Every structure is written in structure tokens, then in C-alpha cells.
Amino acid sequence: MMPVRMLLTPGPLVAVGVHDGLSALLAAEAGAKALYVGGFAAAASLGLPDIGLLMQTEMAAHLARIRAVCRDLPIIVDADTGYGAAANVARTVELFEAAGANAIQVEDQAWPKRSGHLRGKRVISAAEMIGKLKAALDARRNPELMIIARTDAMAVEGRNAAIDRAGAYAEAGVDALFIDAPRSRQDLEAIGTLARFGRPLVFNATAGWHAPTLSTDEAVRCGFILILQPVDLLLAAFEAMRHALRGSADPPARASPADAFHELGALLHLPDATRTPTDP
């Protein structure tokens, strides 16, 4: 199995989001070069919203089940916040590496986290996050295991603060940078300037979320080299199952990705789970 960092040279690398063993097998059969095991899809596969309900050991077990049936592709896994302080992050890296991860994504949200494109996120200080990232780097046994630093500060502190955080995380020694939930082409172009740190930049390519929709070629022109498709297969499966349960013989009319995402969120009670007292 080729390490993720080697697949990124020269790039780009598209990582197909999978939510169970069957979706992983189908992705491999279709020729995927890498898999992405994301928190939203993992939680949804259990009928749960992505608000920090899935714990460290549960996610490690979920990853291990996917690795058991798909041994030949590199897997990038979402570790949320690392499930606690620096010591918890180190333990998370140990567990996820043992379960078969080739790259581990850690974010700077405060716990309990919430899906990256939802309102009401909170972030920890950059200094605390750097401590967690250094713990992650120190905990890995395989030097080829990549640590991806994700910041959710764009929606909380603004574009410049998010870029400053990502730069600080690069200087801490992480292997790739991920600024989640950009809102505009200007945001994406600004994020692209982080290529000066010599780290691969990650783009969430799921259509229908708040980020602008880009083709792979457009994302590469903006400076991104690792392209994630976290929930495309999950949404396709969701729509197909609903259609089958309605008993119609006609092919389903494909909902837009945004509509499918919001319908799935409603089924998981995601709006209710993330509502705050100040919401209308």
C-alpha cells in the first residue's frame, strides 16, 4: 500500500468517503485511490447526528471494520478533536493507527464538536491546539502516518484568523492543512496562499454545503491537493433506500446534494440536536 504522502506527489488525490465495509468495497471496486472515514458519515451510519456522540473507541472500531475488508487502500480518518486534551489525542493516534489509519485528521473545535458546516461552533485557542498536534505527532509509531490539522476558525473568528492558525499548525510540524467551511472563492484563494508552507492543502468537495462547489481541476488551481468527498456515497445510499422503501419501480429522481444533505440531517434530528436557546 502506497503511503498517502506519496500519493499526494504530484497529486491531486481524491479520497472517497465511506461509511461502512460495503461502501468501502464498492469504492475500491470503482478504482478509488484512497478512502476517507469521516465523522458525519460514521455517526449517520448508526442513526446519530454528528455532534460528538461517537466516542474514540467506537470510531476506532468503525475504522477497524472498514480496514478488515479493504486492506489495499490508504485510509484517512476523522478524529474530531482527538476526544480530549493532549494525552487523549496521543491515545487516539495510537488506537487509530493500530486500527489501520494512514492519515489522521484532528480539528481545533471545542468539545463537544459539531459537524463543520453547522452554526454555533466553538474553537479552542491556537496554543492549546498546537499542544494537541505535537502530542499527535509524537504518538505515531509509523513515520509515514500523516497528521492533518483542521481548523474550524473560519466561521468563528474569520478568514484571516483561520489562515493564521493554519500557518501556526504548519510550523508545529503537521503534514497537511485543512481549513473547513470556506464561504467564497475569495476564501479559497486566500487559503491557497498557505501552499507557501509546503504542506498539502485539503478541500472538502461535498457539493451542497456552504463551501463553493469546485471541480477537482478548479480545486487544484486554487492550491488544493487532497480532495475529500465525505458524504457523496452516504447521500446516494440514503436516497436509494428511501426510494426502495416507497415501493416505486421508477428510477429515483436525484435530489440535489444540498436537499439530500438537509433531508438526511432532518432524519437524524440534526437541527434539533444543535439548536441553542437563542435560535428562533
pLDDT in tens, 183-208: 888 999 999 999 999 999 999 987 65
Its pTM stands at 0.92
264 pLDDT tier (thresholds 50, 70, 90)? confident
Average pLDDT over residues 169-174: 98
277 pLDDT tier (thresholds 50, 70, 90)? very low
Q: To which residue does cell 489501520 refer?
A: 100
Calpha distance 231→224 (Å, rounded): 19
121 pLDDT tier (thresholds 50, 70, 90)? confident
The answer, yes or no, to whether residue 63 has pLDDT greater than 60, is: yes
Domain-by-domain residue ranges, the chain? Answer: 4-273
Closest by CA to 208, choosing from 252, 261, 152, is 261
pLDDT at 207: 60
Calpha distance 181→63 (Å, rounded): 24
The pair phi, psi for residue 143, each rounded to 5°, is -65, -15
pLDDT at 280: 38
pLDDT, mean over the chain = 90
8 pLDDT tier (thresholds 50, 70, 90)? very high
Closest by CA to 39, choosing from 23, 59, 10, 67, is 59
Helix 56-69, helix 86-99: angle, nearest 10:
20
Average pLDDT over residues 5-27: 95
CATH fold of 4-273 reads TIM Barrel (3.20.20)
